Amino acid sequence: MTPALWGGRFEGELDAHFASFNRSLGFDARLLEQDVAGSRAWAAALARAGVLTADERDEIDRGLRAVLDQASARPDMAANSPAEDVHSFVEDALRGQVGELAGKLHTGRSRNDQVATDLRMHLSVLGGELVAGVEHLVEALVELAEETAALPIPGYTHLQRAQPLTVGHHLLAYVEMLSRDRGRLVDALERMDECPLGSGALAGTAFPIDREALAARLGFARVTHNSLDAVSDRDFACELLFAASLAMVHLSRFAEDWIFFATQEAGFLTLSDAVATGSSLMPQKKNPDALELVRGKCGRVIGDLQGLLVTLKGLPLAYDKDLQEDKEALFDGLDTLRACLRVTATTVRSARFDADRCRAEASRGYLNATDLADLLVAHGVPFREAHERTGKAVRDALELGVELEELPAHVLATTCGDLEVDLAAELSVDRVLARRASIGGTSPDRVAREVERWKDRLASWES
């Protein structure tokens, strides 16, 4: 049995059930690398403050490096340890290396400032991976948008066919969302970049620690300036989980659009076998499981955020053990986003649009009705009246079972008069698309320009 960290005041043993209830090592062992780095920096800071001799510091440093090497080589070492959390695990293992000298390391430090520091360091790595994951997906979407900048597809509002779009334009809508997600992550990571170590349990450390040097050694941009806030603040966790939740909402909406595109009813898109599954019963089925899981996991990440916010609400300053509940939500939410970004990028890279079908479906069903009304407007008809007349023309076309541009001239004349234009050309899907060329529009030229803009953005993100 490892000695409890607080032996002196206590006579009794921990209840076995409580001990396992209290234990976080199962989910905080992933902070090991950061805990060792933080401890090495703390030992150096203690030596500079005159608490450790140079020899003691070097011996502790050697011991900590050995702990990390051993635990990395044998992941079961932490799993099998009876230690309460990663911090006590590292201290126990250090004792195995350097004996009682290990007891000097915790001078002036608390697990409260320790865990806040470890967590920020760990999240800075994980957050960087999320930013890279978003960039990867953006790259995949932009590449596909370049190939499909001129490919027509029906656009929907209320899930009713509305006006033609280019596939590239639809893809770049998600690029806009993901770029905002990236911005939110980068922003949260920047705000998180402050080192709490040296805040002690709640009131600051009583030893002359150079906190700025300590922060710099650990790679932080700044130090925290209020010890009470520093040990109890989990804003960074909430901010990252919110950024992750909103990114998941975007991925979920994308998944829904593509699940629909891949139905036999729409038939716009074929998903690769690599990201679909079959049915155990129905031999003909091909199911979009990857996208459905992305859509489904969105709820779970939002739940992680919700859970953490409710945990924090009403917590008195400073540290409370409730805060140990931050980690599972945080890791689950961020790991989930990371996995979803990856599988979505694979889905995008391997999908194939059916160009003939997309074009054919965008070219029928009166998606050009607005453009007929606009032609009337060009003849001086007020838009409201043009709308009314075009609506009647649509009714005539429905009755005859033809498209607007196929209406016999004498029938069209009853609602629209003589428009004196080549209606087939003016209402063709390519003309309809080409007209929407102003900034933000769906025309192939505009989308091609937006693709170039996004390529520049991607290059600037890389540097």
The size of the interface with ligand ARG (CB under 6 A), counted in residues, is 11
Q: What is the DSSP letter of 287?
A: B
Tokens of 296: 């489904």
Contact 97, 66 (CB under 8 A): yes
115 binds ligand ARG (CB under 6 A): yes
Q: How far is the CB of 257 from ligand ARG (least distance, A)?
A: 40
Identify the burial level of 422 via C-beta atoms within 10 angstroms of its C-beta, where 0-12 means exposed, 13-18 middle and 19 or more buried: exposed
Q: Cα–Cα distance between 99 and 96 in angstroms, integer?
A: 6
| CB count in 10 Å sphere of residue 430 | 16
Q: How far is the CB of 118 from ligand ARG (least distance, A)?
A: 9
**CB under 6 A: which stretch of 108-116, 152-160, 255-263, 390-398 binds ligand ARG?**
108-116
Q: How far is the CB of 296 from ligand ARG (least distance, A)?
A: 29
Contact 147, 444 (CB under 8 A): no
85 binds ligand ARG (CB under 6 A): yes
C-alpha to C-alpha distances, 246 to 120, 129, 175, 249, nearest whole angstrom:
21, 17, 14, 5
112 vs 390 by CB, closer to ligand ARG: 112
89 binds ligand ARG (CB under 6 A): no
Q: Which of 158, 280, 410, 460 is catalytic?
A: 158
Q: Which of 34, 112, 232, 368 binds ligand ARG (CB under 6 A)?
A: 112
Q: Cα–Cα distance between 360 and 161 in angstroms, integer?
A: 13
**CB under 6 A: which stretch of 11-19, 58-66, 292-300, 317-325 binds ligand ARG?**
317-325
158 is a catalytic site residue = yes
Tokens of 53: 């001799």
Q: Which residue has the tokens 């992933």?
A: 30
**CB under 6 A: which stretch of 9-17, 66-74, 321-329, 334-342 binds ligand ARG?**
321-329
Q: What is the DSSP letter of 379?
A: T
Ranges within 170-189 binding ligand ARG (CB under 6 A): none
Q: How far is the CB of 173 from ligand ARG (least distance, A)?
A: 40
148 vs 232 by CB, closer to ligand ARG: 232
109 binds ligand ARG (CB under 6 A): no
Q: How far is the CB of 172 from ligand ARG (least distance, A)?
A: 42
- Give which of 16, 55, 61, 67 is closest to 42, Cα–Cα: 61
Q: Which residue has the tokens 């635990």?
A: 71
336 binds ligand ARG (CB under 6 A): no
81 is a catalytic site residue = no
- Beta-ladder partners of 300: none
Q: Which residue has the tokens 């953005």?
A: 457
22 vs 279 by CB, closer to ligand ARG: 22
The b/e string for 325-358 (b: 16+ C-beta within 10 A; e otherwise) is bbbbbbbbbbbbbbebbebbbbbbbbbebbbeeb
87 vs 95 by CB, closer to ligand ARG: 87
Contact mark string toward ligand ARG, 279..308, x via CB under 6 A: ------------------------------
**CB under 6 A: which stretch of 34-42, 286-294, 320-328, 403-411 binds ligand ARG?**
320-328
Q: Which of 40, 57, 111, 234 binds ligand ARG (CB under 6 A)?
A: 111
HSE-CB for 283 with a 13 A CA cutoff: 0
Q: Which of 72, 225, 279, 379 is catalytic?
A: 279
Query: Which stretches does DSSP call E strand in 219-365?
Result: 222-223, 269-270, 352-353
Q: How far is the CB of 130 from ligand ARG (least distance, A)?
A: 22
Contact 201, 230 (CB under 8 A): no
* Peptide bond connecting 216 to the previous residue in cis, omega within 30 degrees of 0: no
112 vs 117 by CB, closer to ligand ARG: 112
Ranges within 8-27 binding ligand ARG (CB under 6 A): 24
Active-site annotation, residues: 158, 279
Query: Could you list the residues that contact ligand ARG (CB under 6 A)?
Result: 24, 28, 85, 87, 111-112, 115, 319, 321, 323-324
